[in-house]
Structure formats: structure tokens, C-alpha cells
């Protein structure tokens, strides 16, 4: 992480007719970027930069997922950059990804992007830009790395009509001369990357047997939206008994970290471990790995080619305008007619908070048993991944502005465990990962932890389930509103588990640390992670765990816990699948 010194410069630039423009993309709507993808990419060479001076850096962003609109050379080694807003909008300037060539080693360059619109940024909390060098990759096998000094995010003088703009500035020395380098907001993951990954599955004689890849629909630009069905092949009568789990990602194209989590999930669930096989034997997984390929291809941050946020349009009837979310909702509705869906999770990135966390759903008429039950899976995930996943950041209320999101629409359709998983663009504040950026391996590992927690949630030995339920009840007992927020009469449920304020960081909004205070007030409720076991190992320990559970329940008033569980048996246990015994 970058540690600010307080001495960072805040470059402010005045528009000048004599400015030296070294890169200028054509107006977005004139760019030939709406054509569908094809193997091998564009067969015509890219246009050359405006300025080709010997000592001037050369910029390019006219490639898949690239985003850069204009570059001005303001000093010998200083450049002012403007990123392109999402197509057919004048906002959503967050994602950048561009190439730099004609570099000189040992020179301190300054780069300043001047047209961000969000007033707060993780760049002021230690986040660094990402950098890739082709020479470093070739010589030392070094990929994307966090770089930069003198990093600062600040309000500038570029805004108009009370619409403020903000700048990100940093300095950097290139490791090699005459190198080809790239800068990016987050680890790129393109539509081509996805297609190559899916092609590898199709060509694998083992994985292709239990992973069927189909085209869910075509986008406005006629790109294919893929859907994967992952389960062990069985006869129709047996397969219908399996419950379903749904995962989607990349509805916001600039949230590339969601694709890395999705890749980690697919790597694990398609692997040859006994637990991966157990999951495939138990569930039917429906996976849409990239909901917005058009936005990904053209380098948008949030919108599709309709100029709209798809994750606000799951209720829309406009199939032609929002095909991927329309067909996803329709697929899930038809799936629910055939089998129970026990969990839906939409993967996102978050631009204002650290760590990884979840947003869920609570209705206005919720009962205590229901809102505790929905929090069990995120709590399990926090125990399985304590250095990355923050349960204290999880929120569960529904704002009116979020009613068109995937998690809310699926919850209203009847999926109780309906979540958005949010992954920071920065890093962790937890455990051994505290103060470090997440890399792609960290993000991919969340796919494994998701599967680990799913097995815990559906374990026929209910020790972990009751343990989490007990913890949630302890949180409720030991918190006092006056200890968390002064002069507040907010209900316990709202302050401990639901607080959420308006924001556009991702699917849901900014939140506070009220739930962290809960965990601090009673540290004894934190439970140690129980080692994940295969089905055979789990079944062999049921008797031993049963004895332990009986002793614990006697201490914490077993009758009260069981009674509460019975009152909501149709809700609490309805979503819990008991794993089949050994054959």
C-alpha cells in the first residue's frame, strides 16, 4: 500500500490552445467498436498517435477493454490524461486501461487523470495504480504489479455547472527503455479471456461431461452471453431432485475483479477434488460469467451499449434493450418451476471500501428468525476466509433505488439467500492480509471459499449452522444502541445488520462499521474455523459432533434455541439441503 506523506502535489491545469496533444481518440460514437468479437481480433493496424517525437511517450487505448480519450503533454515528463465516459453517457469515468511506449528508464514521469467524478476514492487510502511491462514479463516473468509514488486523489478545477471533477495523480519510473507498458485501474479480464477459458472447458473431455456451455442470448452488438450448467450427469428423475445455485458476474464491465472471483469458482467447481465432485453431485449450478460483454469490449465502467446500468433494469420488460438481464431473469424463473434455488449470488467490485463482503435482502415485514437465517451464509464465509471477507461490512436492507438490482429482484421472486458479493479494488484490512493489495490469486481464492462455505451451509451435521445462529443471537443480546451511536433511536436490526447509505460504489451502497462494533463487544462469539471435510469424513464425525452439540445446547438454553428454530422451520430449514449419505 502507498502511505501518504502529506506532501503530495495537486497539479491543476488550465486549458490552453497551445497545448501539445499527443493522443486523441475520435468521438466515441464514431469509433468502429460495436462490431462483434472475432478470433484474432481486428485485422487492421491501429492508428498512430498524434505526436511521434523521440522523447515523447506514445499512448494507445484502441484495443479490447481499453479506455483513454485524450493525452496532453504539459511538461517534458508530465502528462494530463482524460478517460472516456461510458458510451452514450457523460459520466462513469472510473475505469482506465491504456498502453504506453517509447519509454525511458530512470526518468520520473508524472501522470494525472483529470475527469473522475466520484469525490471519494481508495487511492487516498493506499491504493496504487496497476502496471504491466512486456520486458519485465519476458525477462523475469513478472505480471501486473502495483506501482507509483506521490499518489493523490483530489478535487480539481475542471468541473462545470456545479459538477465537480477529481484528479488522480502519480509519479513513476519505467524499469526499461523502449518498453511497451500498460496502466490499469484493476486487473484486466476481457471477453476474449473468457472465450479462451470456455474453449478450454469445451475441449477438455473430462470437464465437458459435467459442464455444458450454451448461449443464453445475444447482446445489442450481437456478442454472445454464455450460460454454464454444471452438475454430475444423471437420469432426469434423479436430477430434478437436486437444488440449484446461481452465480452471475460482470454486469458492470469495469469491475474486473468479479471475473477473477468467477474464474476461481469455476476452476474449483470443475476440478477433481472430492469436495468439487460432492458439490456437482449435490447441486445444479447455473453460471453466467459475463452479463455485459459489450461494455467489457468497448472499455465501459458501468453501462451497456444502451447507455444504461443493467443492474438497475432486472424489472424491465424491454428485452431488446437489456437482453442479458431479461434472459437471466427468465431463465431463473423457469428454473424455479423445476427445482428449488437455494442461493443466488451476483459478483461485483466496490470502489470505496476495502475487503470482500455481501449485500443481502430484508423485507419491511421481516421476522427475527428470517433475518438471522439469511446472515448465516455470509457469517460462514467470514470464518472460512477471515483475512479477506468482512462480515461487519455486510448489509441487508433494501433501498428504493436498488429495487431493480439482481439481488432484490431474485429475492422478491422467492430466493431467500439472494446476495451481491462485493470485492474491493484495493485490498484487505483483516488478519495477515492487512495493509496489502489483493492480487488475482487472492480474488480467485474467494471462489474456493464460496464452495467451502456452501458445503458448510448444507452439511448434514448442523454444528456450524447452529454455531452461527447462536452467534447472531449473541450479537442481538449484547449490543446496546447507545454504545454504538449516540442519541439514536434506530432499531437494533437496522443498526446491527442493515445500515446502508446511498452510493454508487457498485450494486449497493456505502456502509458503516456498526457490525464490527458488535464483534468487538463480545469477542468470545468469534468461532474458530472448522476444517472442511469431504462427505465421507463429515458423516464419520456426526456422532462425535452430536455429543458436543448437546453439551453446548445445555449451556445456552437448548429449549429456547430449538423453539425458535421450530417457529421458522419452513424458512430456516427449507433452504438447507441435507447431503446424501454414502452409497
Nearest to 371 by CA among 396, 389, 399, 391: 396
For residues 312-323, give the mean pLDDT.
Answer: 93
Beta bridge pairs of residue 418: 344
Above 70 in pLDDT, residue 364? Answer: no
The tens digit of pLDDT for each residue in 141-187 reads 999 999 999 999 999 987 666 788 999 999 999 999 999 999 999 99
CATH code where residue 472 lies: 3.40.630.10
Q: Tell whether 494 is covered by a domain.
A: yes
Planar angle of CA 240, 241, 242, nearest 5 degrees: 90
How far is residue 473 from each of residues 372, 373, 477, 567, measured CA to CA in Å?
8, 11, 6, 15
Same domain? For 173 and 198 the reply is no
The half-sphere exposure of 40 on its side-chain side, counting CA atoms within 13 A, is 3
The tens digit of pLDDT for each residue in 366-398 reads 566 677 888 999 999 999 999 999 999 999 988
Same domain? For 121 and 253 the reply is no
Planar angle of CA 553, 545, 340, nearest 5 degrees: 90
Q: What pLDDT score does 68 carry?
A: 97
Q: What pLDDT score does 340 carry?
A: 94
Active site residue 482: no
Above 80 in pLDDT, residue 45? Answer: no
pLDDT band at 559 (very low <50, low <70, confident <90, very high): very low
CATH code where residue 70 lies: 2.60.40.3120
Q: Pick 242 or 494 by higher pLDDT.
A: 242
For residues 465-469, give the mean pLDDT.
Answer: 91
What percent of the chain is modeled with pLDDT above 70? 74
Same domain? For 175 and 253 the reply is no
Same domain? For 238 and 357 the reply is yes
How many CB atoms neighbour CB 318 within 10 A?
12
DSSP 389: B
Above 50 in pLDDT, residue 498? Answer: no
Same domain? For 414 and 469 the reply is yes
Mean pLDDT taken over the chain? 83
For residues 272-292, give the mean pLDDT.
Answer: 96
- Please name the residues in contact with 550: beta carbons below 8 A apart, sequence gap of 6 or more: 558
Above 50 in pLDDT, residue 349? Answer: yes
Same domain? For 213 and 108 the reply is no
Q: Pick 413 or 501 by higher pLDDT.
A: 413
pLDDT band at 568 (very low <50, low <70, confident <90, very high): very low
Q: Pick 40 or 244 by higher pLDDT.
A: 244
Given the residues 60, 136, 354, 422, select the one marked as catalytic: 422
Domain around 420: 191-561
Q: Pick 317 or 26 by higher pLDDT.
A: 317
Q: Tell whether 81 is covered by a domain.
A: yes
Q: What pLDDT score does 48 carry?
A: 52
Above 60 in pLDDT, residue 510? Answer: no
For residues 46-71, give the mean pLDDT.
Answer: 81
Same domain? For 258 and 169 the reply is no
d(CA 397, CA 382) in angstroms, rounded, equals 19
Query: What is the secondary structure of 141-193 as a DSSP string?
Result: ----EE--EEEEEEE-S--BTTB--EEEEEEEEBSSTT--EEEESS----HHH
Query: What is the secondary structure of 10-38 as a DSSP string?
Result: -------TT-EEEEEPPPGGGSS--SPP-
Above 50 in pLDDT, residue 579? Answer: no
Q: What is the pTM of this model?
A: 0.82
What percent of the chain is modeled with pLDDT above 90? 64
Q: Tell whether 581 is covered by a domain.
A: no
Q: Pick 20 or 546 by higher pLDDT.
A: 20
Above 90 in pLDDT, residue 126? Answer: yes
Same domain? For 141 and 233 the reply is no
Nearest to 53 by CA among 81, 73, 69: 73
- Please name the residues in contact with 360: beta carbons below 8 A apart, sequence gap of 6 or more: 374, 375, 378, 394, 395, 396, 407, 411, 417, 418, 419
The tens digit of pLDDT for each residue in 70-107 reads 999 999 999 999 999 999 998 899 999 999 999 999 99
Above 50 in pLDDT, residue 538? Answer: yes
User: For residue 30, what is its C-alpha cell?
Assistant: 464514431
Above 70 in pLDDT, residue 482? Answer: no
Beta bridge pairs of residue 152: 169
Q: Tell whether 534 is covered by a domain.
A: yes
d(CA 297, CA 221) in angstroms, rounded, equals 10
For residues 293-311, give the mean pLDDT.
Answer: 96
The torsion region of residue 506 among left (phi > 0), alpha (psi -120 to 50) and beta comes to beta
Nearest to 393 by CA among 308, 559, 517: 517
Q: Tell whether 473 is covered by a domain.
A: yes
Query: What is the secondary structure of 449-510 as a DSSP string?
Result: HHHHHHHHHT-SSTHHHHHHHHHHHHHHHH--HHHHSTT----HHHHHHT--B---SSSS-B
Same domain? For 301 and 323 the reply is yes
Same domain? For 525 and 471 the reply is yes
Above 90 in pLDDT, residue 508? Answer: no
Same domain? For 308 and 402 the reply is yes
Mutual orientation of helices 463-478 and 376-384 as an angle, nearest 10°?
A: 100
Same domain? For 125 and 148 the reply is yes
pLDDT band at 362 (very low <50, low <70, confident <90, very high): confident
Please state which of the ranges 196-200, 445-449, 531-535 shows the lowest mean pLDDT: 531-535
How many CB atoms neighbour CB 356 within 10 A?
28
Q: Tell whether 251 is covered by a domain.
A: yes
For residues 541-560, give the mean pLDDT.
Answer: 53
Which of 155, 184, 213 corresponds to the end of one domain? 184
Q: What pLDDT score does 549 carry?
A: 54
d(CA 449, CA 441) in angstroms, rounded, equals 12
Q: Tell whether 571 is covered by a domain.
A: no
| 4 within 8 A of 150, measured Cβ to Cβ | no
Three-state DSSP at 248 gives strand
Please state which of the ranges 63-67, 242-246, 507-511 shows the lowest mean pLDDT: 507-511
Q: Tell whether 76 is covered by a domain.
A: yes
For residues 446-455, give the mean pLDDT.
Answer: 96
Q: What pLDDT score does 399 carry?
A: 83
Above 70 in pLDDT, residue 250? Answer: yes
d(CA 42, CA 290) in angstroms, rounded, equals 21
The tens digit of pLDDT for each residue in 387-439 reads 999 999 999 988 888 889 999 999 999 999 999 999 999 999 999 999 999 99
Which of 152, 184, 216 corresponds to the end of one domain? 184
Report how many domains make up the chain.
2
pLDDT band at 523 (very low <50, low <70, confident <90, very high): very low
Phi and psi of 201, rounded to 5°? -65, -45
Amino acid at each position: 500500500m502507498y502511505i501518504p506523506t502529506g506532501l503530495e502535489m495537486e497539479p491543476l491545469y488550465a486549458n490552453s490552445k497551445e497545448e501539445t496533444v499527443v493522443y486523441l481518440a475520435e468521438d466515441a460514437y464514431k469509433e468502429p467498436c460495436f462490431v462483434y468479437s472475432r478470433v484474432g481480433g481486428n485485422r487492421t493496424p491501429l492508428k498512430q498517435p498524434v505526436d511521434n517525437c523521440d522523447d515523447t511517450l506514445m499512448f494507445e487505448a484502441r484495443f479490447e477493454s481499453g479506455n483513454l480519450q485524450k493525452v496532453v503533454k504539459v511538461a517534458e515528463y508530465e502528462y494530463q490524461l482524460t478517460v472516456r465516459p461510458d458510451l452514450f453517457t457523460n459520466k462513469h469515468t472510473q475505469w482506465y486501461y491504456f498502453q504506453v511506449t517509447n519509454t525511458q528508464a530512470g526518468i520520473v514521469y508524472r501522470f494525472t487523470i483529470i475527469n473522475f467524478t466520484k469525490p471519494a476514492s481508495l487511492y487516498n487510502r493506499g491504493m496504487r495504480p496497476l502496471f504491466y511491462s512486456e520486458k519485465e514479463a519476458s525477462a523475469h516473468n513478472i505480471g501486473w504489479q502495483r506501482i507509483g509514488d506521490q499518489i493523490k486523489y483530489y478535487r480539481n478545477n475542471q468541473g462545470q455547472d456545479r459538477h465537480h471533477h477529481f484528479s488522480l495523480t502519480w509519479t513513476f519510473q519505467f524499469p526499461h527503455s523502449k518498453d511497451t507498458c500498460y496502466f490499469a485501474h484493476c486487473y484486466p479480464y476481457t471477453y476474449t479471456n473468457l472465450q479462451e477459458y470456455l474453449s478450454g472447458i469445451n475441449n477438455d473431455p473430462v470437464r465437458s461431461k459435467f459442464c455444458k456451455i450454451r448461449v443464453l442470448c445475444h447482446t445489442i452488438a450481437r456478442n454472445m452471453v454464455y450460460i454454464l450448467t454444471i452438475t454430475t450427469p444423471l437420469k432426469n428423475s434423479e436430477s430434478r431432485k437436486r437444488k440449484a445455485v446461481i452465480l452471475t458476474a460482470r454486469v458492470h464491465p469495469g469491475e474486473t475483479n468479479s471475473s477473477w472471483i468467477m474464474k476461481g469458482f469455476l476452476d474449483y467447481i470443475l476440478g477433481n477434488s472430492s469436495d468439487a465432485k460432492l458439490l456437482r453431485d449435490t447441486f445444479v449450478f447455473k453460471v453466467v460469467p459475463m452479463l455485459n460483454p459489450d461494455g467489457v469490449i468497448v472499455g465501459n465502467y458501468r453501462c451497456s451499449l444502451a447507455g444504461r446500468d443493467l443492474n438497475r433494469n432486472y424489472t424491465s420488460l424491454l428485452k431488446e434493450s437489456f437482453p442479458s438481464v431479461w434472459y437471466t431473469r427468465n431463465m431463473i424463473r423457469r428454473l424455479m418451476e423445476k427445482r428449488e434455488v437455494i442461493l443466488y449470488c451476483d459478483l461485483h467490485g466496490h470502489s470505496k471500501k476495502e475487503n470482500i463482503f455481501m449485500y443481502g435482502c430484508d423485507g419491511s415485514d421481516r421476522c427475527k428468525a428470517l433475518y438471522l437465517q439469511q446472515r448465516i451464509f455470509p457469517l460462514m464465509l467470514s470464518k472460512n476466509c477471515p483475512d479477506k471477507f468482512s462480515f461487519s461490512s455486510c448489509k441487508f436492507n433494501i433501498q428504493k433505488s436498488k429495487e431493480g438490482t439482481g439481488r432484490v429482484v431474485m429475492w422478491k421472486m422467492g430466493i431467500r439467500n439472494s446476495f451481491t458479493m462485493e470485492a474491493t479494488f484495493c485490498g484487505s484490512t483483516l488478519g495477515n492480509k492487512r495493509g496489502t493489495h489483493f492480487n488475482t490469486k487472492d480474488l480467485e481464492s474467494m471462489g474456493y471459499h464460496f464452495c467451502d462455505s456452501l458445503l458448510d451451509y448444507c452439511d448434514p451435521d448442523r454444528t456450524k449452522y447452529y454455531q452461527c445462529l447462536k452467534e447472531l443471537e449473541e450479537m442481538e443480546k449484547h449490543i446496546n444502541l447507545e454504545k454504538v451511536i449516540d442519541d439514536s433511536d434506530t432499531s437494533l436490526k437496522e443498526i446491527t445488520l442493515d445500515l446502508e447509505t446511498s452510493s454508487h460504489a457498485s450494486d449497493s451502497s456505502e456502509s458503516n462499521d456498526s457490525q464490527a462494533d458488535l464483534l468487538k463487544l463480545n469477542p468470545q462469539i468469534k468461532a474458530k474455523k472448522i476444517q472442511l471435510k469431504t462427505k465421507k469424513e463429515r458423516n464419520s464425525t456426526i456422532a462425535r459432533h452430536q455429543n458436543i452439540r448437546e453439551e453446548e445446547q445445555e449451556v445456552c438454553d437448548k429449549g429456547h434455541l430449538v423453539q425458535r428454530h421450530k417457529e421458522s422451520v419452513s424458512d430456516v430449514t427449507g433452504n438447507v439441503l441435507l447431503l446424501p449419505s454414502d452409497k
